[in-house]
Amino acid sequence: MTLRAMIVDDEPLSRQRLRGLLRGSPDVEVVAEAGDGRQAIELIRHHAPDLLFLDIAMPEVDGFGVLEAVAEEEVPAVIFVTAYEEHALRAFEVHAVDYLLKPFDRERFQRALGQARVKLERRRSDDVSRRLEALLEDFEGRDRYHQRIPIKSAGRVYFLDVASIEWIDAAGNYVRFNSGGDTHLLRETIGTMEGRLDPARFVRIHRSTIVNLNFVQEIQPHFHGEQVVVMKSGRRLTVSRSYRHLLEERLEGASS
């Protein structure tokens, strides 16, 4: 992955030093330089760099003003390069990758560049996931329920067949799909996922659990008016009282 970088600093010697440091990184291409904030705004819009080395104290428009003037979707990953430490807190409030305080050495520079690589790789991976999901939804446009679910793992995206999912449970900010002894995580709420699955096949039995009726072996009584769903795999899942009537309705519908 080649990173398209831009340098913004009103001091020519500072721009020259940054260029020199970047020559040791073959995966980084400097596509533009600017000596003031106004010029920087124009060049960011024109070149759409991936990474921005940005000075803060510049005449007319400072570094923060540059970021405010650029549309949110056009803002690249930012490494601030400045001689003033008092701006550090504000820099991270605008989600800067790093804050290089002049003077800095090559090792410190490489650490900042490494953080930028990680952030940009994550951003690109997220973009690919969103595009694949949108493409899949478009492909399945006549069916409002998911047939396959894109899962991102270790930098790759694969598709999980919904029909193979035995049950789903909540795991913090994620949902966990249980399928054939394997588990797959997706950053989603269980409530949102419930609305994307065919209710004729999937039913919520607990605030944190959804089951695929095709994999239900039997239902047994449990304590305090609750029930237990026994899956074909032998896994036992609790049915809370508040969802018991929903399970009964779906089972009646499936048998009719």
Determine the Cα–Cα distance for residues 141 and 254; give it in Å rounded to an integer.
Answer: 25
CATH 3.40.50.2300 fits 3-124, yes or no: yes
**Model pLDDT for residues 67-114, shown as the tens digit of each residue:** 888 877 677 889 999 888 887 778 777 788 889 888 899 999 999 999
pLDDT at residue 133 greater than cutoff 70: no
pLDDT at residue 184 greater than cutoff 90: yes
Average pLDDT, the chain: 85
pLDDT band at residue 129 under the 50/70/90 scheme = low
| Closest to 28 measured CA to CA, from 59, 13, 6 | 6
**Is 212 in a helix, a strand, or coil?**
strand
pLDDT band at residue 140 under the 50/70/90 scheme = low
Q: Domain boundaries in the chain? A: 3-124, 162-255
**Is 76 in a helix, a strand, or coil?**
coil
pLDDT band at residue 147 under the 50/70/90 scheme = confident
CATH architecture of 162-255: Beta Barrel (2.40)
**Model pLDDT for residues 11-60, shown as the tens digit of each residue:** 999 999 999 999 988 889 999 999 999 999 999 999 999 999 999 988 88
pLDDT at residue 215 greater than cutoff 80: yes
Residue with tokens 């795991």: 171
Query: 227 forms bridges with which residues in the sheet?
Result: 221, 239
Amino acid 1: pLDDT:
67
pLDDT band at residue 142 under the 50/70/90 scheme = very low
